[in-house]
Protein backbone atom coordinates (compact mmCIF):
# COMPACT_ATOMS: atom_id res chain seq x y z
CA UNK A 1 0.00 0.00 0.00
CA UNK A 2 2.82 2.40 0.91
CA UNK A 3 4.70 1.52 -2.27
CA UNK A 4 1.58 2.18 -4.38
CA UNK A 5 1.04 5.54 -2.68
CA UNK A 6 4.64 6.50 -3.31
CA UNK A 7 4.29 5.60 -6.97
CA UNK A 8 1.15 7.74 -7.26
CA UNK A 9 2.92 10.65 -5.61
CA UNK A 10 5.71 10.32 -8.15
CA UNK A 11 3.24 10.42 -11.01
CA UNK A 12 1.45 13.41 -9.52
CA UNK A 13 4.76 15.25 -9.42
CA UNK A 14 4.97 15.41 -5.61
CA UNK A 15 8.20 16.44 -3.91
CA UNK A 16 10.91 18.89 -4.83
CA UNK A 17 12.23 16.72 -7.66
CA UNK A 18 8.97 16.87 -9.59
CA UNK A 19 8.02 19.57 -12.06
CA UNK A 20 5.43 22.24 -11.47
CA UNK A 21 4.45 22.53 -15.12
CA UNK A 22 1.48 20.53 -16.45
CA UNK A 23 1.64 17.07 -18.12
CA UNK A 24 3.77 15.71 -20.89
CA UNK A 25 4.79 12.52 -22.60
CA UNK A 26 7.55 10.10 -21.84
CA UNK A 27 7.45 6.40 -21.22
CA UNK A 28 5.22 6.04 -18.16
CA UNK A 29 1.70 4.63 -18.42
CA UNK A 30 0.56 7.97 -17.03
CA UNK A 31 3.26 10.20 -18.42
CA UNK A 32 1.94 13.36 -16.82
CA UNK A 33 1.28 15.42 -13.74
CA UNK A 34 -2.26 16.13 -12.59
CA UNK A 35 -4.87 18.81 -12.07
CA UNK A 36 -7.93 19.18 -9.85
CA UNK A 37 -11.22 18.11 -11.39
CA UNK A 38 -12.93 20.88 -13.34
CA UNK A 39 -13.86 21.98 -16.86
CA UNK A 40 -11.51 20.72 -19.56
CA UNK A 41 -9.01 23.20 -20.93
CA UNK A 42 -8.74 23.79 -24.65
CA UNK A 43 -5.61 23.12 -26.66
CA UNK A 44 -2.81 25.59 -26.89
CA UNK A 45 -2.99 27.42 -29.72
CA UNK A 46 10.58 8.94 -47.01
CA UNK A 47 13.57 7.55 -47.63
CA UNK A 48 12.70 4.49 -45.56
CA UNK A 49 10.05 2.15 -46.95
CA UNK A 50 6.83 2.23 -45.00
CA UNK A 51 5.74 -0.88 -43.10
CA UNK A 52 2.15 -0.17 -43.98
CA UNK A 53 0.09 2.21 -46.11
CA UNK A 54 -0.53 5.95 -45.76
CA UNK A 55 -3.91 7.61 -45.33
CA UNK A 56 -4.85 11.29 -45.00
CA UNK A 57 -7.61 13.14 -43.22
CA UNK A 58 -9.18 16.61 -43.28
CA UNK A 59 -7.95 19.37 -40.97
CA UNK A 60 -9.75 22.30 -39.44
CA UNK A 61 -9.85 24.31 -36.24
CA UNK A 62 -11.62 22.96 -33.15
CA UNK A 63 -11.22 23.14 -29.41
CA UNK A 64 -10.30 20.44 -26.96
CA UNK A 65 -13.70 20.95 -25.35
CA UNK A 66 -15.59 18.89 -27.93
CA UNK A 67 -15.30 15.39 -29.29
CA UNK A 68 -15.82 14.25 -32.85
CA UNK A 69 -19.62 14.18 -32.76
CA UNK A 70 -19.93 17.51 -30.96
CA UNK A 71 -20.50 16.14 -27.44
CA UNK A 72 -18.98 18.29 -24.66
CA UNK A 73 -15.53 17.09 -23.68
CA UNK A 74 -16.07 17.69 -19.96
CA UNK A 75 -14.63 15.48 -17.25
CA UNK A 76 -18.01 13.99 -16.28
CA UNK A 77 -18.83 12.80 -19.79
CA UNK A 78 -15.34 11.42 -20.23
CA UNK A 79 -15.54 9.52 -16.96
CA UNK A 80 -18.75 7.92 -18.26
CA UNK A 81 -16.84 6.53 -21.20
CA UNK A 82 -17.29 9.15 -23.91
CA UNK A 83 -14.36 9.12 -26.29
CA UNK A 84 -11.98 11.97 -27.03
CA UNK A 85 -10.94 12.76 -30.60
CA UNK A 86 -7.17 13.29 -30.80
CA UNK A 87 -7.56 14.76 -34.30
CA UNK A 88 -9.23 17.93 -35.53
CA UNK A 89 -12.53 17.29 -37.26
CA UNK A 90 -13.66 18.63 -40.62
CA UNK A 91 -16.51 21.14 -40.24
CA UNK A 92 -19.22 21.63 -42.88
CA UNK A 93 -18.00 21.76 -46.45
CA UNK A 94 -14.51 22.92 -45.56
CA UNK A 95 -11.92 21.26 -47.78
CA UNK A 96 -8.34 20.89 -46.65
CA UNK A 97 -5.75 22.24 -49.05
CA UNK A 98 -2.97 19.78 -49.64
CA UNK A 99 0.47 21.08 -48.62
CA UNK A 100 2.46 22.40 -51.58
CA UNK A 101 4.73 19.88 -53.28
CA UNK A 102 7.69 22.05 -52.35
CA UNK A 103 6.85 21.72 -48.66
CA UNK A 104 6.43 17.94 -48.93
CA UNK A 105 9.73 17.59 -50.76
CA UNK A 106 11.50 19.74 -48.17
CA UNK A 107 10.13 17.62 -45.34
CA UNK A 108 11.24 14.42 -47.09
CA UNK A 109 14.71 15.85 -47.64
CA UNK A 110 14.94 16.83 -43.98
CA UNK A 111 13.86 13.32 -42.96
CA UNK A 112 16.45 11.78 -45.26
CA UNK A 113 19.12 14.14 -43.94
CA UNK A 114 18.38 13.19 -40.35
CA UNK A 115 18.57 9.52 -41.25
CA UNK A 116 21.84 9.72 -43.15
CA UNK A 117 23.81 12.21 -41.03
CA UNK A 118 25.50 10.69 -37.99
CA UNK A 119 24.32 7.62 -36.17
CA UNK A 120 20.59 7.04 -36.19
CA UNK A 121 20.86 4.59 -33.30
CA UNK A 122 22.43 5.86 -30.09
CA UNK A 123 23.15 4.10 -26.81
CA UNK A 124 22.37 6.69 -24.15
CA UNK A 125 23.49 4.36 -21.37
CA UNK A 126 23.65 0.56 -20.96
CA UNK A 127 20.14 -0.69 -21.64
CA UNK A 128 18.83 2.60 -23.08
CA UNK A 129 18.75 2.88 -26.87
CA UNK A 130 17.40 5.77 -28.94
CA UNK A 131 16.45 5.18 -32.57
CA UNK A 132 16.29 8.64 -34.14
CA UNK A 133 13.69 9.23 -36.88
CA UNK A 134 12.96 5.50 -36.87
CA UNK A 135 9.29 5.69 -37.80
CA UNK A 136 8.82 6.92 -41.41
CA UNK A 137 6.24 9.63 -41.99
CA UNK A 138 3.82 7.20 -43.66
CA UNK A 139 3.92 4.90 -40.65
CA UNK A 140 3.38 7.80 -38.25
CA UNK A 141 0.32 8.86 -40.24
CA UNK A 142 -1.06 5.32 -40.07
CA UNK A 143 -0.35 5.04 -36.35
CA UNK A 144 -2.19 8.27 -35.62
CA UNK A 145 -5.19 7.22 -37.71
CA UNK A 146 -5.42 3.82 -36.04
CA UNK A 147 -5.09 5.35 -32.57
CA UNK A 148 -7.81 7.84 -33.44
CA UNK A 149 -10.16 5.12 -34.67
CA UNK A 150 -9.54 2.98 -31.59
CA UNK A 151 -9.82 6.01 -29.34
CA UNK A 152 -13.31 6.86 -30.54
CA UNK A 153 -14.60 3.37 -29.82
CA UNK A 154 -15.35 1.40 -26.68
CA UNK A 155 -12.43 1.51 -24.26
CA UNK A 156 -10.99 4.50 -26.13
CA UNK A 157 -9.48 7.75 -24.90
CA UNK A 158 -10.81 9.05 -21.59
CA UNK A 159 -9.88 11.41 -18.77
CA UNK A 160 -8.10 9.42 -16.04
CA UNK A 161 -8.15 10.65 -12.47
CA UNK A 162 -8.19 9.84 -8.77
CA UNK A 163 -10.94 9.45 -6.16
CA UNK A 164 -9.90 12.68 -4.46
CA UNK A 165 -10.87 14.62 -7.58
CA UNK A 166 -7.37 15.06 -8.96
CA UNK A 167 -7.05 14.43 -12.69
CA UNK A 168 -4.11 13.57 -14.91
CA UNK A 169 -3.48 16.21 -17.54
CA UNK A 170 -3.81 13.92 -20.51
CA UNK A 171 -6.19 11.66 -22.37
CA UNK A 172 -5.35 7.97 -22.02
CA UNK A 173 -6.24 4.75 -23.78
CA UNK A 174 -5.05 1.28 -22.83
CA UNK A 175 -4.61 -1.56 -25.32
CA UNK A 176 -4.30 -5.21 -24.28
CA UNK A 177 -4.73 -4.57 -20.55
CA UNK A 178 -6.12 -1.61 -18.64
CA UNK A 179 -3.89 0.32 -16.25
CA UNK A 180 -5.66 2.10 -13.40
CA UNK A 181 -3.88 5.21 -12.01
CA UNK A 182 -5.84 4.99 -8.75
CA UNK A 183 -4.62 1.49 -7.86
CA UNK A 184 -1.53 1.20 -10.13
CA UNK A 185 -2.88 -2.20 -11.16
CA UNK A 186 -3.44 -3.82 -14.58
CA UNK A 187 -6.77 -5.53 -15.26
CA UNK A 188 -9.03 -6.72 -18.07
CA UNK A 189 -11.49 -3.83 -17.85
CA UNK A 190 -11.59 -0.12 -17.02
CA UNK A 191 -13.10 0.56 -13.56
CA UNK A 192 -14.71 3.87 -14.60
CA UNK A 193 -17.06 2.32 -17.15
CA UNK A 194 -16.32 -1.41 -17.35
CA UNK A 195 -14.99 -1.09 -20.91
CA UNK A 196 -12.54 -3.74 -22.07
CA UNK A 197 -9.28 -2.49 -23.61
CA UNK A 198 -9.07 -2.98 -27.40
CA UNK A 199 -6.43 -5.48 -28.57
CA UNK A 200 -3.07 -4.20 -29.76
CA UNK A 201 -3.11 -4.02 -33.58
CA UNK A 202 -0.71 -6.40 -35.33
CA UNK A 203 0.86 -3.44 -37.15
CA UNK A 204 1.91 -1.93 -33.83
CA UNK A 205 3.53 -5.18 -32.73
CA UNK A 206 5.39 -5.43 -36.03
CA UNK A 207 6.97 -2.02 -35.50
CA UNK A 208 7.97 -2.87 -31.93
CA UNK A 209 9.57 -6.13 -33.05
CA UNK A 210 11.50 -4.34 -35.79
CA UNK A 211 12.79 -1.69 -33.41
CA UNK A 212 14.09 -4.28 -30.93
CA UNK A 213 15.69 -6.35 -33.70
CA UNK A 214 17.41 -3.30 -35.18
CA UNK A 215 18.68 -2.36 -31.72
CA UNK A 216 20.08 -5.87 -31.26
CA UNK A 217 21.79 -5.76 -34.65
CA UNK A 218 23.38 -2.41 -33.81
CA UNK A 219 24.60 -3.59 -30.40
CA UNK A 220 26.04 -6.79 -31.87
CA UNK A 221 27.97 -4.82 -34.50
CA UNK A 222 29.32 -2.18 -32.10
CA UNK A 223 30.02 -4.18 -28.92
CA UNK A 224 31.92 -7.33 -28.05
CA UNK A 225 28.93 -8.90 -26.36
CA UNK A 226 28.01 -12.19 -28.01
CA UNK A 227 24.57 -12.58 -26.50
CA UNK A 228 22.86 -9.21 -26.67
CA UNK A 229 19.73 -10.77 -25.18
CA UNK A 230 21.59 -11.08 -21.88
CA UNK A 231 21.91 -7.29 -21.54
CA UNK A 232 18.98 -6.13 -23.68
CA UNK A 233 16.17 -8.74 -23.67
CA UNK A 234 13.48 -9.15 -26.29
CA UNK A 235 9.83 -9.01 -25.31
CA UNK A 236 6.37 -9.71 -26.67
CA UNK A 237 4.21 -6.74 -25.68
CA UNK A 238 0.72 -7.42 -24.39
CA UNK A 239 0.20 -3.88 -23.06
CA UNK A 240 0.21 -0.54 -24.87
CA UNK A 241 -0.54 2.71 -23.08
CA UNK A 242 -1.50 5.49 -25.50
CA UNK A 243 -1.36 9.02 -24.10
CA UNK A 244 -2.21 12.31 -25.76
CA UNK A 245 -0.83 15.54 -24.31
CA UNK A 246 -1.41 19.16 -25.23
CA UNK A 247 1.54 21.50 -25.74
CA UNK A 248 1.73 22.47 -22.07
CA UNK A 249 3.09 20.06 -19.55
CA UNK A 250 5.76 18.12 -17.75
CA UNK A 251 6.29 14.79 -16.07
CA UNK A 252 8.01 14.27 -12.73
CA UNK A 253 10.77 11.71 -12.51
CA UNK A 254 9.38 8.26 -11.68
CA UNK A 255 9.87 4.55 -12.34
CA UNK A 256 7.68 2.15 -14.33
CA UNK A 257 7.20 -0.70 -11.88
CA UNK A 258 3.62 -1.94 -12.16
CA UNK A 259 4.36 -4.87 -14.47
CA UNK A 260 4.83 -8.41 -13.10
CA UNK A 261 7.79 -9.24 -10.89
CA UNK A 262 9.02 -11.67 -13.54
CA UNK A 263 8.93 -8.99 -16.23
CA UNK A 264 10.82 -6.56 -14.01
CA UNK A 265 13.32 -9.19 -12.88
CA UNK A 266 14.14 -10.11 -16.47
CA UNK A 267 14.49 -6.46 -17.40
CA UNK A 268 12.02 -6.77 -20.27
CA UNK A 269 12.17 -3.39 -22.01
CA UNK A 270 9.69 -0.57 -22.41
CA UNK A 271 9.40 0.63 -26.02
CA UNK A 272 8.18 4.18 -26.57
CA UNK A 273 6.99 5.79 -29.84
CA UNK A 274 6.92 9.59 -30.10
CA UNK A 275 4.76 11.52 -32.58
CA UNK A 276 3.85 15.16 -32.92
CA UNK A 277 5.64 17.89 -30.98
CA UNK A 278 9.09 17.22 -29.54
CA UNK A 279 9.73 16.74 -25.82
CA UNK A 280 12.69 17.08 -23.47
CA UNK A 281 13.10 13.67 -21.86
CA UNK A 282 14.99 13.22 -18.58
CA UNK A 283 16.49 10.01 -17.22
CA UNK A 284 18.86 8.93 -14.47
CA UNK A 285 19.65 6.70 -11.49
CA UNK A 286 18.08 9.02 -8.94
CA UNK A 287 14.86 10.99 -8.63
CA UNK A 288 16.80 14.24 -8.86
CA UNK A 289 16.29 16.54 -11.86
CA UNK A 290 19.64 18.25 -11.22
CA UNK A 291 21.48 14.98 -11.81
CA UNK A 292 19.34 13.70 -14.66
CA UNK A 293 20.52 13.41 -18.27
CA UNK A 294 18.43 15.04 -21.00
CA UNK A 295 17.61 14.16 -24.61
CA UNK A 296 15.08 15.63 -27.05
CA UNK A 297 12.57 13.13 -28.43
CA UNK A 298 11.21 14.14 -31.84
CA UNK A 299 8.34 12.90 -33.96
CA UNK A 300 9.26 9.45 -35.27
CA UNK A 301 11.81 8.67 -32.53
CA UNK A 302 11.73 5.35 -30.71
CA UNK A 303 13.20 5.03 -27.22
CA UNK A 304 13.84 1.65 -25.59
CA UNK A 305 14.98 1.02 -22.02
CA UNK A 306 15.44 -2.38 -20.44
CA UNK A 307 17.97 -4.73 -18.89
CA UNK A 308 19.89 -2.98 -16.10
CA UNK A 309 18.16 0.28 -17.00
CA UNK A 310 14.63 -1.10 -16.77
CA UNK A 311 13.99 0.71 -13.48
CA UNK A 312 15.60 4.05 -14.27
CA UNK A 313 13.87 7.22 -13.19
CA UNK A 314 12.55 9.14 -16.17
CA UNK A 315 10.29 12.05 -16.97
CA UNK A 316 9.78 15.03 -19.24
CA UNK A 317 10.76 18.59 -18.38
CA UNK A 318 8.80 20.24 -21.21
CA UNK A 319 7.07 19.79 -24.52
CA UNK A 320 8.34 22.05 -27.30
CA UNK A 321 5.36 23.72 -29.02
CA UNK A 322 4.98 23.82 -32.79
CA UNK A 323 7.83 21.40 -33.47
CA UNK A 324 5.83 18.68 -35.21
CA UNK A 325 6.83 18.35 -38.89
CA UNK A 326 4.46 20.41 -41.04
CA UNK A 327 3.62 17.56 -43.39
CA UNK A 328 2.94 15.27 -40.41
CA UNK A 329 0.47 17.80 -39.02
CA UNK A 330 -1.20 18.26 -42.39
CA UNK A 331 -1.56 14.54 -43.05
CA UNK A 332 -2.65 13.46 -39.58
CA UNK A 333 -4.72 16.43 -38.36
CA UNK A 334 -3.40 15.60 -34.88
CA UNK A 335 -4.29 18.27 -32.36
CA UNK A 336 -1.34 20.44 -31.22
CA UNK A 337 0.63 18.33 -28.78
CA UNK A 338 2.27 14.94 -28.53
CA UNK A 339 1.06 11.38 -28.98
CA UNK A 340 3.03 8.76 -27.08
CA UNK A 341 2.69 4.97 -27.27
CA UNK A 342 4.51 2.80 -24.75
CA UNK A 343 4.67 -0.97 -25.10
CA UNK A 344 5.55 -3.48 -22.42
CA UNK A 345 5.08 -7.13 -21.47
CA UNK A 346 3.22 -7.75 -18.26
Q: Which residues are annotated as a binding site for Fe cation?
A: 254, 256, 314
What does the alpha-carbon distance between residue 310 and residue 212 come to, in Å, rounded to a whole number?
15
What does the alpha-carbon distance between residue 314 and residue 106 come to, in Å, rounded to a whole number?
34
Q: Kindly give, in sequence order, each residue whose CB lies less than 8 Å from that of residue 220, ignoring residues fewer than 6 positions away.
A: 228
What does the alpha-carbon distance between residue 83 and residue 200 come to, in Å, rounded to a whole number?
18
Distance, CA of 308 to chain centre: 22
Q: Considering only CA atoms, which of 266, 272, 265 is closest in space to residue 211?
A: 272
Task: Map residue 272 onto helix, strand or coil.
Answer: strand
Q: Which residues are annotated as a binding site?
A: 254, 256, 314
Share in percent of the chain as helix, strand, coil (round to 5): 25, 25, 50
Q: What are the angstrom distances between the C-alpha of 305 and each of 204, 244, 266, 270?
A: 18, 21, 12, 6
Amino acid sequence: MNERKTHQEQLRGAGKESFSLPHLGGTSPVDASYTKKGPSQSSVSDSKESHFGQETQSRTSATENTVGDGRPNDSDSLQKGYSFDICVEKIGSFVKLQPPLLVKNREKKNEMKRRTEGENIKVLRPGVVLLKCYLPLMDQVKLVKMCRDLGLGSGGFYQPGYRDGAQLRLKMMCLGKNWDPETSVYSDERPTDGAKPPPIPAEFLQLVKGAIQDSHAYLESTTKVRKVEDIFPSMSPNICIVNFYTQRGSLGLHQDKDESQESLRKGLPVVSFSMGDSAEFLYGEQRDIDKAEKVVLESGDVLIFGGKSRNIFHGVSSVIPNTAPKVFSEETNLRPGRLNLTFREY
